[in-house]
Structure 1
Amino acid sequence: MSNTHWDPVRYGLFGDERRRPAIDLISRLPKPADGFKPRQIVDLGCGPGSITALLDQAYRTQDNADTQIIGVDSSDEMLQTARKRAENIDWQQADIATWEPNSPVDIIFSNAALHWVPEHVKLFPRLTGFLRPGGLLAIQVPNNFLAPSHQLIGEAGNEWRDAVAEAIGQIRIMRPGDYFDVLSTDCDAIDLWQTQYCHVLRGEDPVFTWTSSTVLRPVLTALPDDAARATFCQKYKTRLKQVYPPRDDGITLFPFNRLFMIARKRNA
């Protein structure tokens, strides 16, 4: 991910909903109580640090107090927020595409970040290469790109088709079977699954607020001026309300698909 502007406040507006997939991913990992006591854990794309703190709580126990927790992100704004946290976590600024650890890692964790990094067919072997034998790669990426929330971006941006298509093209993932093939070279235990969450959102234009802090960022940057951005946003909001209408109680239900994977590096 390039070092571009992220808004930690806007990103955190639906904090409980955004944290839920990470909590589910952490719950599937072995813990110190199971005899798995990692010495170093890295959270790639740590953002404001809330998920890194959950990793700290799960692994830096009384019996595993020496575990080093590292949060890596490219955004100044996100890391400024993360560094205000009380946990003894090592926050590092780096681009995931070029990041390297100082020593082999026991867990490389990433929640909703790697879809911003290109060439997964090269990235994932690179990441597993940083693991100790028996170490774990634990990843969650959004898999909602065929949903109306994402498809309507192209519709609303039809007037600037090429710019919008190029911006959206920066964000992509592979098929589950492709990840299995890539990971099976270095890993002997691979768990892949998909979950559709039904997020419960409140507020005015909540789906727009959700996407504007993530997938819309490169799109809005690619539009030529403020007038174009205003026109795009109005069209997009109108269509979102038609597809995701608020209920009588003011709640908007937002289905969202996510892809998970846990892979264990093969022992030498």
Structure 2
Amino acid sequence: MSDWNAQQYDSFATLRQQAAHDLLAAVPAESIEAISDLGCGSGISTALLAQRWPDAAIIGVDQSPDMLATAATRVPSARFLQGDIADFSAPESQDLIFANASLHWLADHRQLFPALVNQLRPGGMLAVQMPNTLPEASHRLMGEVASRADFAQHLGEMNTHRETLLNPNEYYDCLTPNCAAVTIWETHYYHVLDGPSDILRWFSSTALKPYLDMLPAHKREDFSHQYLSELIRVYPPQADGKVLLRLPRLFIVAFRSAS
């Protein structure tokens, strides 16, 4: 997959920050010395962590050089590493592992989540937010357009690199053997955007990107145009001409057992 575009991603930075704010608000304000920000992207979440715990040693991990370059400028006090968060191994036991909108790209959550908890110190915290958007119209329409003859020959039975999330009961059961407390909730955000073209721009730097990367260059604009046409049909304007983009997000905060 080609590199991510930090400038494009950050064009909705204020709206994207909201879920990170809400996740951080559920983390107790206790002494924190070592933090890992997994899938830190352009450093939006890293900046919030640095503001909350200015003396903590923060490591941000991401695969994208462009995202990391922006993150390093945004949070010069943090240390940033390029790498696959699926292979992340903390250099020492962490007080907080924070993963805002990143773990949904990884497979086998029944193994992943306990493995992350094992990298926490006793009493340490795992704080996770994941978009639960695969059933949403915005994502179903991507698949529908991809199945059309012009694109299916290139995309086939494409894996968009997104995992279907476990249900809350399953996350609870895989975390509780090593956790003293687990809190799980879901929030449905309704982002106010100027129109369907903004929905296209929103996902062009995230969920739509794997489709566009798989297509020949001369097919990408046509794919985006057809996807936009479907968005216009499904997301009618509100009374003021704006559109509402619904994004469900699943939150998990788990505390490793003290012994």
TM-score bracket for the superposition, by shorter chain length: over 0.9
**Alpha-carbon displacement from aligned partner over 1:5-57 (angstroms, at most 9, x marks no partner):** 100011111111111000001011101xxxx2011011100011121011111
Task: Give the Cα separation in 2 of the matches to 1:221 and 1:86.
Answer: 29
Aligned counterpart, 2:28: 30
Alpha-carbon contact 2:161-2:210 (below 8 Å) kept = no
Maintained 8 Å contact 1:116/1:172: no
CA contact (8 A) 1:73 1:95 kept: yes
Q: How does 1:130-209 map to 2 (within 5 A)?
A: 130-159=119-148, 160-161=151-152, 163=155, 165-168=157-160, 170-202=162-194, 205-209=197-201
Q: How many residues align?
A: 256
* CA distance in 2 between partners of 1:239 and 1:165 (Å): 21
Match of 1:9 in 2: 7
What corresponds to 2:63 in structure 1?
74
Task: Provide closer, same or farther for how the CA distance between residues 86 and 125 of structure 1 changes in structure 2, counting only shifts above 3 A.
Answer: closer
One-letter amino acid of the counterpart of residue 231, structure 1: D
Q: If the length of structure 1 is used for normalisation, what is the TM-score?
A: 0.90
More deviation, 17-26/228-237: 228-237
Match of 1:127 among 92, 95, 116: 116
For residues 222 and 193 of structure 2, what CA distance do their matches in structure 1 show? 24
2:248 corresponds in structure 1 to 257
Q: Contact 1:135–1:264 (CA<8 Å) still a contact in 2?
A: yes
**Structure 2 CA distance for aligned equivalents of residues 259 and 151 of structure 1:** 19
Give the equivalent residue in structure 2 for 1:228.
Answer: 219
> Could you report, residue by residue, the CA deviation over 1:207-262 in whole angstroms, capped at 9, with x for unpaired residues?
11111110011111122x23332332221100101111234534221111000000
Residues 191 and 263 in structure 1, CA contact (< 8 A), matched pair in contact too = yes
TM-score in terms of structure 2 length? 0.93
Identity of paired residues, percent? Answer: 39
1:54 aligned onto 2:48:
yes
Q: Which amino acid aligns with 2:90?
A: P
Match of 2:210 among 202, 215, 218: 218
- The equivalent residue for 2:101 is 112
Task: Give yes or no for the alignment of 1:19 onto 2:26.
Answer: no
**RMSD across aligned C-alpha pairs, in angstroms?**
1.7
* 2:43 and 2:75 in contact (8 A); partners too: no
Gaps (5+ residues) in structure 2? none
Tell me what 2:87 maps to: 98
User: Given residue 103 of structure 2, which amino acid in structure 1 is its aligned partner?
Assistant: L
Q: Which has the larger displacement, 157-166 or 192-201?
A: 157-166
Instruction: Flag as ranges the 4+ runs of structure 1 deviating above 4 A.
Output: none
Do the aligned residues in 2 keep the contact of 1:74 with 1:95 (CA within 8 Å)?
yes
Residues 86 and 194 (structure 1 numbering): CA distance in 2 closer, same or farther, change over 3 Å? closer
Of 1, 12, 33, 1:39 maps to: 33
CA distance in 1, matches of 2:156, 2:49: 36
Give the match's secondary structure for 1:167: coil
Distance 2:105 2:170 in 1: 17
Distance, in Å, in 1 between the alignment partners of 2:213 and 2:251 is: 29
1:136 and 1:264 in contact (8 A); partners too: yes
For the 8 Å contact 1:83–1:91, the answer to whether it is kept is yes
> Where do 5+ consecutive residues of structure 1 fail to align?
none
How many angstroms apart in 1 are the aligned matches of 2:236 and 2:208?
Answer: 20
Deviation at 1:165, TM superposition (A): 4.0
Asked if 2 retains the 8 angstrom alpha-carbon contact of 1:17 and 1:199, the reply is yes
